[in-house]
Amino acid sequence: MRLTRCLMLALAFLALCGPGVQAATDAVEKLKPQMIPPPAGPDLDLARAVVEYLPDLELLVFEAEVAGTAGRTVPEPRGSMDGAPVLGYVFPTTLQPSDV
């Protein structure tokens, strides 16, 4: 009996909020960044990546080498900062966030 009452209340709530939930979902979809595929070519192809630890300075130096010319391929400016595309590399590592 109690489960049935909870289920009926939940269904009534969803029926009343349905249009509002859909409107909120639509608004969130509009705010999602649009994926712009990065340009293909050797300027963005990683040829070598190295991370070196400098113990005397207690820091890591990240170095990346591309097959083409670094900096030749850049994104086209689009709108303000929030609408600008970003090109970048991710360095896979076994470091935990607490290690840094």
Query: Which structural domain range is residue 20 located in?
Result: 1-32
pTM of the model: 0.43
pLDDT for res 35: 67
Radius of gyration of the chain (CA): 24
pLDDT for res 44: 83
Ordered per-residue pLDDT tens for the chain, 100 residues? 565 666 666 666 666 666 666 666 666 666 666 666 767 789 888 899 888 999 999 999 988 899 999 888 877 766 666 666 666 666 677 878 788 7
28 and 51 together in one domain? no
27 and 75 together in one domain? no
Q: Residue ranges of the alpha helices (H) in the chain?
A: 2-31
* Residue that has been written with the tokens 């591309």 in this structure: 66
